[in-house]
């Protein structure tokens, strides 16, 4: 049996405080997101809504999650958070080792189980290069019970499926999953800068899928979105990877700007000490 204790405890009084600061009625805050009754339950009874609703509410209020929620993090959730960070930074061996600490847990909350399967999928795809196993675990994230959820695990697992099928050369399925992921993202927009690593990771995954599909103009479009977002927020996260992918896409279309992008990627990889990327770039440099 799953543990149903919520991972978040919402502070209804704070929601009410920020709503009034914005000059919004409960109906105005709820408009297009949920029902007025849901807002009333949040404010009066600290009722935790779905993550999709919660993220849209904080975006409308102009606040962050930390302003209105307290996280009831278990040991498993702390480990999952560390694994998420390791995966976003490409350390799949460490992520795999950390996952072993969770495999012995008999029961997991539904949301924790989905994060767990997503992490295994990413380790299988990038750490072990096993697309079929990755597809299996990403599919577990999107099981029938979670099929109606429009949240970050759903977006990331759908992108993972797109990547796995693209690497297998199953073009049509890859296109279906990337289109689905982009639709999910439109349904649950992320507040600018508040989930920067996640935003950049999404652009990176989308660009990677289009690269596998040889749609280089779309690669360059999403790479530019990622680079612009990183630069705007003074972040080096994935910036070297974006420039490396930009260089490869430019080279494939015969653009003379490819060597410059390659040099920027190599310089950034050295700054961030990304040994894996440095070795990959030096092994197959783009000549000036």
Q: What's this model's pTM, rounded to 2 decimal places?
A: 0.67
The CATH number of whichever domain residue 44 belongs to comes to: 1.10.260.40
- Residues 232-246: tens digit of each pLDDT: 988 999 999 999 999
Pairwise CA distance, residues 249 & 152, whole Å = 28
pLDDT at 136 (0 to 100): 96
Number of domains in the chain: 3
Residues in the chain: 288
Domain annotation covers residue 106? yes
* Integer CA distances (angstroms), 179 to 134, 166, 187, 242, in order: 19, 13, 13, 21
Query: Is residue 21 in a domain?
Result: yes
Which range of residues forms the domain containing residue 128? 74-189
Which tens digits make up the pLDDT trace of 59-108? 899 887 778 887 556 778 888 889 988 988 889 999 999 998 887 666 67
End-to-end Cα spacing for the chain: 60
Asked whether residue 55 falls in the same domain as residue 78, the answer is: no
Among the three residues 189, 204, 238, which one is the final residue of a domain in this structure?
Answer: 189
Among candidate residues 71, 86, 103, the one where a domain is terminated: 71
Residues of the chain with pLDDT below 50 are 1-6, 288
Q: Which two tokens stand for residue 28?
A: 């105005």
Considering 53, 71, 89, which residue would you say is the last residue of a domain? 71
285 and 229 within one domain: yes
């Amino acid at each position: 049996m799953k543990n149903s204790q919520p991972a978040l405890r919402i502070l209804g009084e704070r929601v009410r405080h920020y709503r009034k600061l914005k000059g919004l009625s409960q109906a105005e805050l709820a408009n297009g997101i949920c029902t007025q009754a849901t807002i009333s339950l949040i404010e009066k009874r600290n009722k935790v809504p779905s993550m999709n609703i919660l993220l849209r509410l904080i975006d409308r209020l102009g606040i962050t999650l930390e302003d209105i929620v307290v996280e009831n993090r278990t040991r498993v959730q702390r480990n999952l958070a560390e694994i998420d960070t390791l995966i976003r930074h490409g350390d799949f061996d460490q992520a795999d080792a950390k996952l072993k600490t969770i495999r012995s847990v008999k029961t997991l909350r539904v949301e924790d189980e989905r994060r767990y399967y997503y992490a295994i999928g990413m380790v299988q795809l990038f750490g072990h290069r096993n697309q079929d196993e990755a597809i299996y675990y990403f599919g577990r994230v999107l099981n029938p019970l979670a099929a109606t959820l429009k949240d970050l695990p759903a977006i990331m697992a759908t992108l993972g499926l797109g990547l796995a099928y693209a690497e297998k050369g199953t073009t049509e399925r890859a296109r279906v999953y990337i289109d689905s992921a982009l639709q999910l993202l439109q349904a649950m927009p992320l507040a600018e800068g508040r989930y920067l690593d996640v935003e950049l990771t999404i652009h990176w995954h989308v660009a990677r899928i289009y690269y596998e599909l040889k749609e280089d103009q779309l690669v360059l479009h999403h790479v530019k979105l990622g680079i612009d977002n990183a630069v705007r927020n003074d972040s080096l996260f994935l910036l070297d990877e974006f420039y490396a992918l930009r260089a490869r896409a430019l080279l494939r279309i015969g653009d003379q700007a490819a060597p410059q992008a390659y040099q920027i990627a190599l310089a950034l990889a050295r700054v961030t000490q990304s040994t894996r990327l440095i070795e990959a770039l030096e092994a197959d440099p783009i000549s000036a």
